[in-house]
A and B are shown apart, each in its own frame.
Chain A
Protein backbone atom coordinates (compact mmCIF):
# COMPACT_ATOMS: atom_id res chain seq x y z
CA UNK A 1 0.00 0.00 0.00
CA UNK A 2 1.12 3.59 -0.63
CA UNK A 3 2.76 5.11 2.41
CA UNK A 4 0.84 7.93 4.08
CA UNK A 5 3.89 10.18 4.28
CA UNK A 6 7.25 9.79 2.59
CA UNK A 7 9.72 12.43 3.76
CA UNK A 8 13.19 12.69 2.31
CA UNK A 9 15.85 14.85 3.93
CA UNK A 10 13.20 17.15 5.34
CA UNK A 11 14.52 20.28 7.05
CA UNK A 12 13.08 23.53 8.39
CA UNK A 13 14.80 26.81 9.20
CA UNK A 14 13.31 30.03 10.54
CA UNK A 15 15.82 32.70 9.64
CA UNK A 16 18.90 31.75 11.65
CA UNK A 17 17.11 29.16 13.78
CA UNK A 18 17.36 25.61 12.54
CA UNK A 19 14.27 23.77 13.76
CA UNK A 20 14.67 20.48 11.94
CA UNK A 21 17.30 18.83 9.78
CA UNK A 22 17.57 15.85 7.52
CA UNK A 23 14.49 13.81 8.46
CA UNK A 24 13.98 10.85 6.18
CA UNK A 25 11.04 8.67 7.15
CA UNK A 26 8.14 6.61 5.82
CA UNK A 27 4.92 6.74 7.79
CA UNK A 28 2.74 3.78 6.99
CA UNK A 29 -0.90 4.06 6.04
CA UNK A 30 -3.41 2.73 8.55
CA UNK A 31 -1.18 3.29 11.55
CA UNK A 32 -0.99 5.71 14.44
CA UNK A 33 2.44 7.32 14.53
CA UNK A 34 3.65 9.35 17.48
CA UNK A 35 6.03 12.31 17.27
CA UNK A 36 7.99 12.56 20.51
CA UNK A 37 10.64 14.98 21.71
CA UNK A 38 11.35 17.86 24.08
CA UNK A 39 9.89 21.33 23.58
CA UNK A 40 11.58 22.91 20.60
CA UNK A 41 12.68 19.57 19.13
CA UNK A 42 10.90 20.36 15.87
CA UNK A 43 7.68 18.35 16.18
CA UNK A 44 5.36 21.16 15.12
CA UNK A 45 7.83 22.17 12.42
CA UNK A 46 7.78 18.63 11.08
CA UNK A 47 3.98 18.71 10.73
CA UNK A 48 4.16 22.16 9.09
CA UNK A 49 6.80 20.92 6.64
CA UNK A 50 4.77 17.85 5.74
CA UNK A 51 1.91 20.16 4.74
CA UNK A 52 4.38 22.62 3.17
CA UNK A 53 3.03 25.39 5.35
CA UNK A 54 6.57 26.62 6.02
CA UNK A 55 9.51 26.84 3.62
CA UNK A 56 11.47 23.62 3.87
CA UNK A 57 14.32 21.57 2.51
CA UNK A 58 13.83 18.09 1.10
CA UNK A 59 10.73 16.50 -0.38
CA UNK A 60 7.42 15.15 0.90
CA UNK A 61 4.81 12.88 -0.64
CA UNK A 62 1.41 12.40 0.96
CA UNK A 63 -0.41 9.24 -0.08
CA UNK A 64 1.61 9.24 -3.28
CA UNK A 65 0.81 12.85 -4.16
CA UNK A 66 2.51 16.17 -3.69
CA UNK A 67 1.39 18.02 -0.54
CA UNK A 68 -0.38 20.64 -2.67
CA UNK A 69 -2.38 17.94 -4.47
CA UNK A 70 -3.18 16.21 -1.19
CA UNK A 71 -4.38 19.47 0.36
CA UNK A 72 -6.58 20.35 -2.57
CA UNK A 73 -8.07 16.84 -2.52
CA UNK A 74 -8.95 17.32 1.17
CA UNK A 75 -6.87 14.30 2.20
CA UNK A 76 -5.22 15.91 5.20
CA UNK A 77 -6.80 17.26 8.37
CA UNK A 78 -4.80 19.28 10.85
CA UNK A 79 -5.51 19.85 14.55
CA UNK A 80 -3.55 22.87 15.83
CA UNK A 81 -1.63 23.21 19.06
CA UNK A 82 -3.80 25.03 21.62
CA UNK A 83 -1.28 27.86 22.02
CA UNK A 84 -1.71 28.91 18.40
CA UNK A 85 -5.51 29.35 18.60
CA UNK A 86 -7.25 32.67 19.40
CA UNK A 87 -9.88 31.36 21.83
CA UNK A 88 -11.62 34.73 21.95
CA UNK A 89 -12.48 34.57 18.26
CA UNK A 90 -16.19 35.02 17.46
CA UNK A 91 -17.00 31.51 16.25
CA UNK A 92 -19.13 28.79 17.79
CA UNK A 93 -18.16 25.14 18.12
CA UNK A 94 -20.48 24.30 15.23
CA UNK A 95 -18.88 26.99 13.07
CA UNK A 96 -15.46 25.48 13.72
CA UNK A 97 -16.53 21.93 12.91
CA UNK A 98 -18.33 23.16 9.77
CA UNK A 99 -15.06 24.54 8.40
CA UNK A 100 -13.94 20.91 8.12
CA UNK A 101 -16.42 20.64 5.24
CA UNK A 102 -15.36 23.78 3.35
CA UNK A 103 -13.37 21.83 0.80
CA UNK A 104 -16.61 20.17 -0.34
CA UNK A 105 -18.72 23.29 -0.49
CA UNK A 106 -19.07 25.88 -3.26
CA UNK A 107 -17.44 29.29 -3.31
CA UNK A 108 -19.90 30.74 -0.79
CA UNK A 109 -19.34 27.81 1.61
CA UNK A 110 -23.02 27.22 2.17
CA UNK A 111 -23.49 23.86 3.92
CA UNK A 112 -25.70 21.31 2.20
CA UNK A 113 -27.72 18.68 4.02
CA UNK A 114 -24.84 16.19 3.78
CA UNK A 115 -22.48 18.73 5.32
CA UNK A 116 -24.83 19.48 8.20
CA UNK A 117 -25.30 15.76 8.81
CA UNK A 118 -21.53 15.16 8.86
CA UNK A 119 -21.08 18.03 11.32
CA UNK A 120 -23.82 16.72 13.62
CA UNK A 121 -22.35 13.24 13.46
CA UNK A 122 -18.85 14.46 14.31
CA UNK A 123 -20.15 16.56 17.20
CA UNK A 124 -22.01 13.54 18.57
CA UNK A 125 -19.02 11.24 18.12
CA UNK A 126 -16.88 13.52 20.26
CA UNK A 127 -19.68 14.04 22.80
CA UNK A 128 -19.97 17.80 22.34
CA UNK A 129 -23.31 18.04 20.52
CA UNK A 130 -24.85 19.89 23.46
CA UNK A 131 -22.04 22.49 23.34
CA UNK A 132 -22.39 23.18 19.62
CA UNK A 133 -23.70 26.73 19.94
CA UNK A 134 -21.17 27.93 22.48
CA UNK A 135 -18.40 30.31 21.54
CA UNK A 136 -15.25 28.19 21.18
CA UNK A 137 -13.51 29.80 24.15
CA UNK A 138 -16.38 28.91 26.49
CA UNK A 139 -15.27 25.28 26.57
CA UNK A 140 -12.82 23.47 28.83
CA UNK A 141 -9.39 22.55 27.47
CA UNK A 142 -10.48 19.01 26.70
CA UNK A 143 -13.72 20.08 25.06
CA UNK A 144 -11.83 22.53 22.86
CA UNK A 145 -9.58 19.74 21.63
CA UNK A 146 -12.58 17.55 20.98
CA UNK A 147 -14.08 20.33 18.86
CA UNK A 148 -10.99 20.39 16.65
CA UNK A 149 -10.89 16.61 16.41
CA UNK A 150 -14.57 16.76 15.43
CA UNK A 151 -13.62 19.14 12.65
CA UNK A 152 -11.08 16.61 11.36
CA UNK A 153 -13.74 13.87 11.53
CA UNK A 154 -16.25 16.02 9.66
CA UNK A 155 -13.62 16.58 6.99
CA UNK A 156 -13.44 12.82 6.44
CA UNK A 157 -9.72 13.05 5.70
CA UNK A 158 -7.39 10.11 5.06
CA UNK A 159 -4.54 11.53 7.12
CA UNK A 160 -4.92 13.31 10.47
CA UNK A 161 -2.10 15.44 11.87
CA UNK A 162 -2.65 16.33 15.53
CA UNK A 163 -0.36 18.66 17.46
CA UNK A 164 -0.48 17.82 21.19
CA UNK A 165 -4.17 16.96 21.37
CA UNK A 166 -3.72 15.71 24.94
CA UNK A 167 -1.94 18.71 26.43
CA UNK A 168 -4.02 20.23 29.23
CA UNK A 169 -6.83 17.77 28.63
CA UNK A 170 -8.97 15.99 31.24
CA UNK A 171 -9.20 12.18 31.43
CA UNK A 172 -12.67 11.98 29.86
CA UNK A 173 -11.62 14.01 26.84
CA UNK A 174 -8.40 12.06 26.46
CA UNK A 175 -10.26 8.75 26.55
CA UNK A 176 -12.83 10.00 24.07
CA UNK A 177 -10.24 11.34 21.63
CA UNK A 178 -8.17 8.13 21.95
CA UNK A 179 -11.19 6.01 21.12
CA UNK A 180 -11.97 8.15 18.09
CA UNK A 181 -8.38 7.92 16.83
CA UNK A 182 -8.45 4.13 17.17
CA UNK A 183 -11.69 4.14 15.19
CA UNK A 184 -9.96 6.16 12.45
CA UNK A 185 -7.16 3.62 12.33
CA UNK A 186 -9.69 0.78 12.15
CA UNK A 187 -11.01 2.41 8.96
CA UNK A 188 -7.54 2.11 7.44
CA UNK A 189 -6.74 5.78 7.83
CA UNK A 190 -3.57 7.29 9.19
CA UNK A 191 -2.96 9.34 12.32
CA UNK A 192 0.19 11.31 13.17
CA UNK A 193 0.12 12.68 16.66
CA UNK A 194 2.51 14.86 18.65
CA UNK A 195 2.43 13.36 22.10
CA UNK A 196 4.07 14.59 25.30
CA UNK A 197 3.32 11.57 27.50
CA UNK A 198 5.68 8.62 26.93
CA UNK A 199 3.51 5.90 28.46
CA UNK A 200 0.48 7.26 26.63
CA UNK A 201 2.22 7.17 23.27
CA UNK A 202 3.56 3.66 23.92
CA UNK A 203 0.00 2.50 24.46
CA UNK A 204 -1.59 4.34 21.55
CA UNK A 205 0.94 4.42 18.73
CA UNK A 206 2.07 1.71 16.32
CA UNK A 207 5.32 3.53 15.69
CA UNK A 208 7.19 6.47 17.16
CA UNK A 209 9.46 9.12 15.65
CA UNK A 210 11.88 10.39 18.26
CA UNK A 211 13.00 13.92 17.36
CA UNK A 212 15.61 16.33 18.62
CA UNK A 213 16.20 18.77 15.83
CA UNK A 214 16.74 15.66 13.70
CA UNK A 215 15.40 12.12 13.66
CA UNK A 216 16.94 10.12 16.54
CA UNK A 217 14.97 6.97 15.88
CA UNK A 218 11.88 5.65 14.14
CA UNK A 219 10.36 2.31 15.08
CA UNK A 220 7.76 0.51 17.20
CA UNK A 221 7.28 2.10 20.64
CA UNK A 222 9.03 -0.71 22.55
CA UNK A 223 12.10 -0.42 20.35
CA UNK A 224 12.13 3.39 20.26
CA UNK A 225 11.30 4.36 23.82
CA UNK A 226 14.24 2.60 25.51
CA UNK A 227 15.91 4.31 28.48
CA UNK A 228 19.02 5.18 26.44
CA UNK A 229 17.06 6.67 23.58
CA UNK A 230 14.78 8.58 25.94
CA UNK A 231 17.86 9.94 27.68
CA UNK A 232 19.31 11.03 24.34
CA UNK A 233 16.05 12.71 23.39
CA UNK A 234 15.16 14.36 26.66
CA UNK A 235 18.38 14.49 28.66
CA UNK A 236 20.36 17.61 29.39
CA UNK A 237 23.17 18.53 27.06
CA UNK A 238 23.51 20.32 23.81
CA UNK A 239 21.67 19.28 20.73
CA UNK A 240 24.12 17.18 18.83
CA UNK A 241 23.97 18.83 15.45
CA UNK A 242 24.85 22.30 16.74
Chain B
Protein backbone atom coordinates (compact mmCIF):
# COMPACT_ATOMS: atom_id res chain seq x y z
CA UNK B 1 0.00 0.00 0.00
CA UNK B 2 1.05 3.58 -0.63
CA UNK B 3 2.75 4.66 2.62
CA UNK B 4 1.09 8.07 2.36
CA UNK B 5 -2.33 6.46 2.29
CA UNK B 6 -1.51 4.19 5.22
CA UNK B 7 -0.34 7.18 7.24
CA UNK B 8 -3.54 8.97 6.39
CA UNK B 9 -5.60 6.00 7.55
CA UNK B 10 -3.65 5.59 10.76
CA UNK B 11 -3.30 9.27 11.65
CA UNK B 12 -6.64 9.46 13.50
CA UNK B 13 -5.47 6.70 15.84
CA UNK B 14 -2.77 8.99 17.21
CA UNK B 15 -5.35 11.16 18.91
CA UNK B 16 -6.88 10.18 22.20
CA UNK B 17 -10.28 11.68 21.36
CA UNK B 18 -10.38 9.66 18.13
CA UNK B 19 -9.54 6.43 19.93
CA UNK B 20 -12.39 7.08 22.35
CA UNK B 21 -14.73 7.88 19.48
CA UNK B 22 -13.72 4.69 17.69
CA UNK B 23 -14.21 2.60 20.82
CA UNK B 24 -17.67 3.99 21.55
CA UNK B 25 -18.79 3.78 17.94
CA UNK B 26 -17.59 0.20 17.50
CA UNK B 27 -19.28 -1.04 20.67
CA UNK B 28 -22.51 0.67 19.64
CA UNK B 29 -22.15 -0.63 16.10
CA UNK B 30 -21.77 -4.25 17.20
CA UNK B 31 -24.74 -4.11 19.60
CA UNK B 32 -26.91 -2.37 17.01
CA UNK B 33 -25.85 -4.69 14.20
CA UNK B 34 -26.73 -7.80 16.21
CA UNK B 35 -30.09 -6.50 17.40
CA UNK B 36 -30.89 -5.09 13.98
CA UNK B 37 -31.11 -8.55 12.39
CA UNK B 38 -34.09 -9.48 14.58
CA UNK B 39 -35.77 -6.11 14.44
CA UNK B 40 -35.73 -6.16 10.65
CA UNK B 41 -36.84 -9.78 10.26
CA UNK B 42 -39.69 -9.30 12.74
CA UNK B 43 -40.88 -6.07 11.18
CA UNK B 44 -40.06 -4.10 14.31
CA UNK B 45 -38.09 -1.27 12.68
CA UNK B 46 -40.65 1.32 13.76
CA UNK B 47 -40.21 0.09 17.31
CA UNK B 48 -36.52 1.01 17.02
CA UNK B 49 -37.49 4.49 15.89
CA UNK B 50 -39.94 4.79 18.77
CA UNK B 51 -37.69 3.63 21.57
CA UNK B 52 -34.76 5.73 20.40
CA UNK B 53 -36.79 8.95 20.40
CA UNK B 54 -38.57 8.11 23.65
CA UNK B 55 -35.37 8.12 25.71
CA UNK B 56 -34.83 11.88 25.31
CA UNK B 57 -36.80 12.94 28.42
CA UNK B 58 -35.03 10.20 30.40
CA UNK B 59 -31.61 11.44 29.38
CA UNK B 60 -32.55 15.05 30.12
CA UNK B 61 -33.93 14.18 33.56
CA UNK B 62 -30.89 12.06 34.35
CA UNK B 63 -28.73 15.05 33.47
CA UNK B 64 -30.72 17.37 35.72
CA UNK B 65 -30.70 14.88 38.59
CA UNK B 66 -27.05 14.01 38.14
CA UNK B 67 -27.73 10.32 37.44
CA UNK B 68 -25.96 8.20 34.81
CA UNK B 69 -27.69 8.92 31.51
CA UNK B 70 -27.97 5.18 30.85
CA UNK B 71 -30.37 4.88 33.78
CA UNK B 72 -32.70 7.59 32.50
CA UNK B 73 -32.58 6.26 28.96
CA UNK B 74 -33.28 2.67 30.01
CA UNK B 75 -36.20 3.69 32.23
CA UNK B 76 -37.83 5.73 29.48
CA UNK B 77 -37.02 3.20 26.74
CA UNK B 78 -38.65 0.38 28.64
CA UNK B 79 -41.42 2.70 29.80
CA UNK B 80 -42.17 3.63 26.19
CA UNK B 81 -42.52 -0.04 25.24
CA UNK B 82 -44.90 -0.63 28.13
CA UNK B 83 -46.85 2.53 27.30
CA UNK B 84 -47.23 1.49 23.65
CA UNK B 85 -48.62 -1.87 24.78
CA UNK B 86 -50.93 -0.13 27.25
CA UNK B 87 -52.24 2.36 24.67
CA UNK B 88 -52.97 -0.47 22.24
CA UNK B 89 -54.78 -2.53 24.84
CA UNK B 90 -56.79 0.42 26.15
CA UNK B 91 -57.80 1.93 22.80
CA UNK B 92 -57.52 -0.88 20.23
CA UNK B 93 -55.93 1.55 17.76
CA UNK B 94 -53.51 -0.02 15.29
CA UNK B 95 -49.96 -0.77 16.36
CA UNK B 96 -48.23 1.81 14.15
CA UNK B 97 -50.55 4.56 15.35
CA UNK B 98 -50.01 3.65 19.01
CA UNK B 99 -46.25 3.68 18.44
CA UNK B 100 -46.43 7.03 16.63
CA UNK B 101 -48.49 8.69 19.35
CA UNK B 102 -46.35 7.49 22.24
CA UNK B 103 -42.90 8.20 20.88
CA UNK B 104 -43.59 11.61 19.43
CA UNK B 105 -45.23 12.67 22.69
CA UNK B 106 -42.29 11.48 24.76
CA UNK B 107 -39.83 13.07 22.34
CA UNK B 108 -41.72 16.36 22.62
CA UNK B 109 -41.63 16.09 26.40
CA UNK B 110 -37.87 15.66 26.09
CA UNK B 111 -37.54 18.77 23.91
CA UNK B 112 -39.52 20.77 26.45
CA UNK B 113 -37.37 19.58 29.34
CA UNK B 114 -34.20 20.37 27.37
CA UNK B 115 -35.49 23.88 26.57
CA UNK B 116 -35.86 24.76 30.25
CA UNK B 117 -32.53 23.25 31.28
CA UNK B 118 -29.65 25.72 31.79
CA UNK B 119 -26.91 23.54 30.24
CA UNK B 120 -28.77 23.17 26.96
CA UNK B 121 -25.73 22.62 24.76
CA UNK B 122 -24.75 19.41 26.55
CA UNK B 123 -28.21 18.07 25.88
CA UNK B 124 -28.15 19.18 22.26
CA UNK B 125 -25.30 16.70 21.95
CA UNK B 126 -27.69 13.93 22.84
CA UNK B 127 -29.79 14.76 19.80
CA UNK B 128 -26.98 14.92 17.28
CA UNK B 129 -24.29 12.88 19.00
CA UNK B 130 -20.98 14.10 20.36
CA UNK B 131 -18.76 11.13 19.92
CA UNK B 132 -15.61 13.27 19.76
CA UNK B 133 -16.27 14.56 23.25
CA UNK B 134 -17.37 11.52 25.27
CA UNK B 135 -16.35 11.49 28.92
CA UNK B 136 -14.83 8.58 30.82
CA UNK B 137 -18.16 8.02 32.55
CA UNK B 138 -19.95 7.89 29.18
CA UNK B 139 -17.45 5.37 27.87
CA UNK B 140 -17.86 3.19 30.95
CA UNK B 141 -21.63 3.19 30.54
CA UNK B 142 -21.42 2.33 26.85
CA UNK B 143 -19.00 -0.53 27.49
CA UNK B 144 -21.03 -2.07 30.30
CA UNK B 145 -24.38 -1.76 28.59
CA UNK B 146 -22.98 -2.85 25.23
CA UNK B 147 -21.40 -5.94 26.77
CA UNK B 148 -24.66 -6.92 28.48
CA UNK B 149 -26.64 -6.52 25.26
CA UNK B 150 -24.17 -8.39 23.07
CA UNK B 151 -23.78 -11.28 25.51
CA UNK B 152 -27.55 -11.66 25.90
CA UNK B 153 -28.20 -11.61 22.17
CA UNK B 154 -25.40 -14.02 21.32
CA UNK B 155 -26.39 -16.52 24.02
CA UNK B 156 -30.09 -16.43 23.12
CA UNK B 157 -29.65 -16.03 19.37
CA UNK B 158 -31.07 -19.41 18.37
CA UNK B 159 -34.17 -19.01 20.51
CA UNK B 160 -34.69 -15.44 19.33
CA UNK B 161 -34.40 -16.55 15.74
CA UNK B 162 -36.84 -19.41 16.24
CA UNK B 163 -39.36 -17.07 17.84
CA UNK B 164 -38.97 -14.67 14.93
CA UNK B 165 -39.44 -17.45 12.38
CA UNK B 166 -42.07 -19.69 13.93
CA UNK B 167 -43.45 -18.51 17.29
CA UNK B 168 -46.00 -21.33 17.18
CA UNK B 169 -43.33 -24.02 17.15
CA UNK B 170 -41.29 -22.15 19.75
CA UNK B 171 -44.32 -22.13 22.01
CA UNK B 172 -45.16 -25.78 21.30
CA UNK B 173 -41.71 -26.96 22.44
CA UNK B 174 -41.94 -25.06 25.70
CA UNK B 175 -40.14 -21.80 24.89
CA UNK B 176 -41.85 -18.58 25.93
CA UNK B 177 -42.31 -16.26 22.93
CA UNK B 178 -43.58 -13.36 25.04
CA UNK B 179 -40.59 -13.53 27.33
CA UNK B 180 -38.22 -13.62 24.36
CA UNK B 181 -40.03 -10.65 22.80
CA UNK B 182 -39.58 -8.82 26.09
CA UNK B 183 -35.86 -9.68 26.03
CA UNK B 184 -35.58 -8.16 22.55
CA UNK B 185 -37.40 -5.00 23.59
CA UNK B 186 -35.26 -4.69 26.71
CA UNK B 187 -32.15 -5.14 24.56
CA UNK B 188 -33.52 -2.46 22.27
CA UNK B 189 -33.86 0.04 25.12
CA UNK B 190 -30.30 -0.68 26.27
CA UNK B 191 -28.84 -0.62 22.76
CA UNK B 192 -30.27 2.85 22.24
CA UNK B 193 -28.24 3.91 25.27
CA UNK B 194 -25.01 2.92 23.54
CA UNK B 195 -25.93 4.23 20.12
CA UNK B 196 -27.07 7.68 21.16
CA UNK B 197 -23.54 8.38 22.38
CA UNK B 198 -22.17 7.40 18.99
CA UNK B 199 -24.58 9.04 16.57
CA UNK B 200 -27.20 10.90 18.63
CA UNK B 201 -30.86 10.12 19.18
CA UNK B 202 -32.02 11.22 15.76
CA UNK B 203 -29.79 8.78 13.89
CA UNK B 204 -30.02 5.82 16.28
CA UNK B 205 -32.83 4.30 14.23
CA UNK B 206 -30.45 4.11 11.26
CA UNK B 207 -28.02 2.02 13.30
CA UNK B 208 -30.92 -0.23 14.32
CA UNK B 209 -32.33 -0.80 10.85
CA UNK B 210 -29.68 -0.44 8.14
CA UNK B 211 -27.34 -3.26 9.28
CA UNK B 212 -30.02 -5.95 9.41
CA UNK B 213 -31.62 -4.74 6.19
CA UNK B 214 -28.25 -4.78 4.40
CA UNK B 215 -27.32 -8.24 5.65
CA UNK B 216 -30.70 -9.65 4.60
CA UNK B 217 -29.78 -8.83 1.01
CA UNK B 218 -26.74 -11.07 1.32
CA UNK B 219 -27.12 -13.97 3.77
CA UNK B 220 -29.46 -16.96 3.75
CA UNK B 221 -28.48 -18.38 7.14
CA UNK B 222 -28.84 -16.68 10.47
CA UNK B 223 -25.25 -16.94 11.68
CA UNK B 224 -24.10 -15.58 8.35
CA UNK B 225 -26.68 -12.82 8.67
CA UNK B 226 -25.25 -11.85 12.06
CA UNK B 227 -21.69 -11.96 10.73
CA UNK B 228 -22.48 -9.80 7.68
CA UNK B 229 -24.50 -7.37 9.74
CA UNK B 230 -21.70 -6.88 12.27
CA UNK B 231 -18.92 -6.94 9.68
CA UNK B 232 -20.48 -4.36 7.38
CA UNK B 233 -21.45 -2.09 10.25
CA UNK B 234 -18.00 -2.17 11.84
CA UNK B 235 -16.36 -1.48 8.49
CA UNK B 236 -18.79 1.34 7.68
CA UNK B 237 -18.27 2.87 11.12
CA UNK B 238 -14.49 2.93 10.70
CA UNK B 239 -14.75 4.41 7.23
CA UNK B 240 -17.22 6.99 8.47
CA UNK B 241 -15.09 8.03 11.44
CA UNK B 242 -11.88 8.32 9.43
CA UNK B 243 -13.74 10.33 6.79
CA UNK B 244 -15.14 12.57 9.52
CA UNK B 245 -11.63 13.13 10.87
CA UNK B 246 -10.19 14.20 7.53
CA UNK B 247 -13.16 16.06 6.12
CA UNK B 248 -14.19 17.66 9.42
CA UNK B 249 -17.79 16.53 9.05
CA UNK B 250 -20.30 15.20 11.60
CA UNK B 251 -18.99 11.79 12.75
CA UNK B 252 -22.46 10.39 13.44
CA UNK B 253 -23.65 11.63 10.08
CA UNK B 254 -20.62 10.17 8.31
CA UNK B 255 -21.04 6.76 9.99
CA UNK B 256 -24.70 6.47 9.06
CA UNK B 257 -24.12 7.81 5.56
CA UNK B 258 -21.49 5.12 4.99
CA UNK B 259 -23.91 2.47 6.22
CA UNK B 260 -26.52 3.80 3.81
CA UNK B 261 -24.00 3.54 0.97
CA UNK B 262 -23.21 -0.05 2.00
CA UNK B 263 -26.93 -0.81 1.85
CA UNK B 264 -27.06 0.68 -1.65
CA UNK B 265 -24.17 -1.55 -2.76
CA UNK B 266 -25.88 -4.64 -1.30
CA UNK B 267 -29.11 -3.67 -3.02
CA UNK B 268 -27.33 -3.54 -6.34
CA UNK B 269 -24.87 -6.39 -6.00
CA UNK B 270 -26.14 -8.54 -3.11
CA UNK B 271 -25.95 -12.25 -3.95
CA UNK B 272 -29.37 -12.99 -2.52
CA UNK B 273 -31.77 -10.35 -3.77
CA UNK B 274 -29.48 -7.85 -5.45
CA UNK B 275 -30.88 -6.08 -8.49
CA UNK B 276 -28.02 -7.26 -10.69
CA UNK B 277 -28.60 -10.91 -9.75
CA UNK B 278 -32.33 -10.59 -10.23
CA UNK B 279 -31.83 -8.94 -13.59
CA UNK B 280 -29.44 -11.70 -14.66
CA UNK B 281 -31.91 -14.38 -13.50
CA UNK B 282 -34.78 -12.71 -15.32
CA UNK B 283 -32.71 -12.65 -18.50
CA UNK B 284 -31.80 -16.29 -18.12
CA UNK B 285 -35.46 -17.20 -17.63
CA UNK B 286 -36.42 -15.15 -20.66
CA UNK B 287 -33.79 -16.97 -22.72
CA UNK B 288 -34.78 -20.40 -21.36
CA UNK B 289 -38.45 -19.66 -21.88
CA UNK B 290 -38.08 -18.20 -25.36
Contacts and interface: CB of A to CB of B under 8 A. Distances in A.
Interface of A: 15, 48, 51, 53, 71-74, 76-78, 80, 84-86, 89-92, 95-96, 99-100, 102-103, 107-109, 135, 151, 155, 161
A78 B225 CA distance: 26
12 contacts: A48-B168, A73-B174, A80-B169, A89-B165, A90-B225, A91-B221, A99-B162, A99-B166, A102-B159, A103-B174, A108-B155, A155-B173
Nearest to B172: A78
A107 B168 CA distance: 19
Q: Interface majority SS on B: helix, strand, loop or mixed? A: helix
Nearest to B154: A108
A84 B162 contact: no
Contact of B162 (A48, A77, A102, A155): A102
A60 to B, nearest CB: 13
Interface residues of B, number: 24
Contacts, number: 73
B173 A74 contact: yes
A78 to B, nearest CB: 4
Contacts of B165: 86, 89, 91, 96, 99
A217 B237 CA distance: 64
B152 to A, nearest CB: 12
A92 B220 contact: yes
Contact of A74 (B174, B219, B220): B174
Given A90-B41, A108-B158, A77 B220 contact: no
A67 to B, nearest CB: 9
Interface string B172-205: 1111000000000000000000000000000000
Nearest to A108: B155
Contact of B168 (A80, A96, A103, A108): A80
A53 B168 contact: yes
Interface majority SS (helix, strand, loop, mixed), chain A? mixed
Given A90-B216, A90-B221, A84 B168 contact: yes
A199 B216 CA distance: 43
Contact of B172 (A51, A90, A91, A109): A51
A77 B172 contact: yes
B17 interface: no
A107 B155 contact: yes
A85 B155 CA distance: 25
Nearest to B218: A90
B222 to A, nearest CB: 6
B194 to A, nearest CB: 24
Contact of B169 (A48, A78, A90): A78
B173 A80 contact: no
B250 interface: no
A80 B171 CA distance: 12
Nearest to A99: B162
B161 interface: yes
A211 to B, nearest CB: 19
Contact of A76 (B41, B161, B172, B175): B172
Given A71-B174, A85-B166, A100-B173, 5 more contacts: A51-B171, A80-B169, A84-B168, A92-B220, A102-B158
